[in-house]
Amino acid sequence: PESITVQELANRMAARQGEVIKALMKMGVMATVTQTIDADTAELVVEEFGHRVRRVAESDVEIGIEGVEDKEEDLRSRPPVVTVMGHVDHGKTSLLDALRTTDVATGEAGGITQHIGAYQVTLASGAKITFIDTPGHEAFTAMRARGASMTDVVVLVVAADDGVMPQTAEAIKHAKAANAPIIVAINKIDKPGANPDRVRQDLLSHEIVVESMGGDVQDVEVSALKKTNLDKLEEAILLQAEILDLKANPDRPAEGAVIEGRLDRGRGAVSTVLVQKGTLRKGDIVVAGAEWGRVRALVDDRNRQLSEALPSTPVEVLGIGGVPEAGSSFVVVENENRAREISEFRQRKIKEHTAAGQTAARGTLDQMLA
């Protein structure tokens, strides 16, 4: 067929209709389950889901269901990906900075680090935790809207001297909507006016019941300033990760999400990505958002060149032709032609979308997310 309904497409891939609609939204296509989409669009969706497409005739898309989901036996444990959220000035950045110093290697190297929007710490036990340093809730929401939820666990920072504030409540809403379990970090306990119990009490009215009050949300009293209880917070994260049983197949072409992108004088377009599945390697051909390129270098948060990046690893990618939008997905494809095709298609969709009038589309998107 030259076209296919969203419903039929979902059925053939054994995917959820909502996931297909989300994938379409990522490409700038707004469609309901009963609507028909063209063969080109369908093919891209199918690719996004990791399936193979066979074109029987020029305009025909035949969906091969080989390589559907990763097989259970191919899955390996992966580190948790953590986003720190909370009210302004409650200490998100300070806590991220403090946690970073707990990395065994960073300690040795004397802390020569660079800001790449995300980093991974390796604890003395060998366990790893990935932290995403989102500039704000907007990025988190944008990623979720595009179906690219990259967070396994939300660490909610609440200052013990200030208590639950409007953005704390916002963060709780985002975490709940994304289905990400929350760990409460009650920060600034070194301060004279600190009242951790009031924080626990306040959280009740937002349906966050911490363990000490009979609930199942872990809470840890910390001081980012004095570096108090950072190990306890990390233990809490690892315990949560164990419960979530986080796994990915490292032996497949990489897929993931763009955390941020920028133009660097000298290095060109630099994208920080989070590998979510598979292994990203130097030389791979990637499509990120509407941009594509061959991976020229992979650089970690300590400015070291890597030859490959495993699932849950945040890494800077050099070699992509332009700056992809934060929150868009990236995927490794077989060859340059395929990459060019997908990127051209997405560029076209973005243009069409813009031409069609953003206000109307925005309205629809907002309604769909409401």
Please identify, using beta-carbon distances, which residue of 35 and 94 lies nearer to Mg ion. Answer: 94
Q: How far is CA 264 from the centre of its chain?
A: 22
Distance CA 321, CA 296 (A): 11
Residue 125 interacts, among Mg ion, ligand GTP, none and using kind-specific CB cut-offs from 5 to 8 Å, with: none
Q: Which of 92, 146, 200, 277 binds ligand GTP (CB under 6 A)?
A: 92
Strand partners, 156: 85, 184
Please identify, using beta-carbon distances, which residue of 92 and 174 lies nearer to Mg ion. Answer: 92
DSSP string, 208-227: --BGGGTSSB-EEE-BTTTT
At which residue do the structure tokens 């097989």 appear? 71
Stretches 39-47, 75-83, 103-111, 219-227: which one binds ligand GTP (CB under 6 A)?
219-227
Structure token digits, residue 35: 């609507």
DSSP string, 24-59: HHHTT----TT-EEEHHHHHHHHHHTT-EEE-SSTT
The H-or-E segment that residue 157 falls in is strand 153-159
Q: Which of 7, 36, 77, 94 binds ligand GTP (CB under 6 A)?
A: 94
Does 191 sit near ligand GTP (CB under 6 A)? yes
Minimum Å gap between C-beta 169 and ligand GTP is 15
Minimum Å gap between C-beta 117 and Mg ion is 13
136 is in an annotated binding site: yes
Instruction: Output helix, strand, coil percentages for the chain, rounded to the nearest 5.
Output: 35, 30, 40
Distance CA 49, CA 154 (A): 26
Stretches 91-99, 256-264, 268-276, 312-320: which one binds ligand GTP (CB under 6 A)?
91-99
Does 88 sit near ligand GTP (CB under 6 A)? yes
Structure token digits, residue 29: 């296509």
Distance CA 205, CA 105 (A): 41
Q: Which of 83, 134, 141, 187 binds ligand GTP (CB under 6 A)?
A: 187
Please identify, using beta-carbon distances, which residue of 51 and 87 lies nearer to Mg ion. Answer: 87
Amino acid at 292: W
Judge whether 308 and 288 are in contact, CB under 8 Å.
no
Structure token digits, residue 353: 């979308």
Residue 369 interacts, among Mg ion, ligand GTP, none and using kind-specific CB cut-offs from 5 to 8 Å, with: none
Minimum Å gap between C-beta 338 and ligand GTP is 40
Residue 311 interacts, among Mg ion, ligand GTP, none and using kind-specific CB cut-offs from 5 to 8 Å, with: none
Residue 249 interacts, among ligand GTP, Mg ion, none and using kind-specific CB cut-offs from 5 to 8 Å, with: none
Does 307 sit near Mg ion (CB under 5 A)? no
Please identify, using beta-carbon distances, which residue of 90 and 346 lies nearer to ligand GTP. Answer: 90
Structure token digits, residue 234: 């990390």
Minimum Å gap between C-beta 337 and ligand GTP is 44
One character per residue 83-102, x = contact with Mg ion (rule: CB under 5 A) = ---------xx---------
Does 190 sit near ligand GTP (CB under 6 A)? yes
Strands (DSSP E) found in 251-313: 255-264, 268-277, 280-281, 285-288, 291-299, 305-306, 308-309
Does 138 sit near ligand GTP (CB under 6 A)? no
Q: Which of 355, 354, 328, 327 is nearest to 342 (CA)?
A: 328
Does 93 sit near ligand GTP (CB under 6 A)? yes
Does 235 sit near ligand GTP (CB under 6 A)? no
Residue 190 interacts, among ligand GTP, Mg ion, none and using kind-specific CB cut-offs from 5 to 8 Å, with: ligand GTP
- Total site size for ligand GTP, rule CB under 6 A: 15
Distance CA 258, CA 331 (A): 10
Residue 128 interacts, among Mg ion, ligand GTP, none and using kind-specific CB cut-offs from 5 to 8 Å, with: none
Does 225 sit near ligand GTP (CB under 6 A)? yes
Which residues have C-beta within 8 Å of that of residue 240, sequence separation ≥ 6? 80, 152, 153, 181, 183, 218
**Residues in touch with Mg ion (CB under 5 A):** 92-93
**Residues in touch with ligand GTP (CB under 6 A):** 86, 88-94, 187-188, 190-191, 223-225
For the annotated binding site for GTP, the residues are 86-93, 133-137, 187-190
